[in-house]
Amino acid sequence: MVRPDALEGRSTVFLSGDSGAAERLTDQSLTGLGRSAASRPDLGGIGTARGQEHFALLFIGIAEGLGSHVFNIDVVTLPSGP
């Protein structure tokens, strides 16, 4: 998560929160780590963090299955347009 350029391909980090000041600080920190704005979707208020807590369990399961925590997760969406 600290070096998004260490792996090929895109990766996603999820954001949730109710504090504008905290969101700005997190945004600055992630930019400093090399995370593009497109790689960090804002999921909304702090209530959406519950899903991220469950995602952590998935991450651990994948890491155990791969025998490594060095991998990317990317949310892929349909292109916008008509």
Between CA 62 and CA 50 the distance in angstroms is: 19
User: Model pTM?
Assistant: 0.73
Torsion of CA 68, 41, 9, 79, to 10 degrees: 140
Contact predicate 3/67, CB 8 Å: no
Neighbours of 4 (CB within 10 A): 19
3-state secondary structure of 40: coil
Q: Would you give per-residue pLDDT tens digits along the chain (82 residues)?
A: 667 778 888 889 899 999 999 988 998 999 998 888 888 999 999 999 999 999 889 999 999 999 998 888 899 888 886 6
| Domain edges within the chain | 4-66
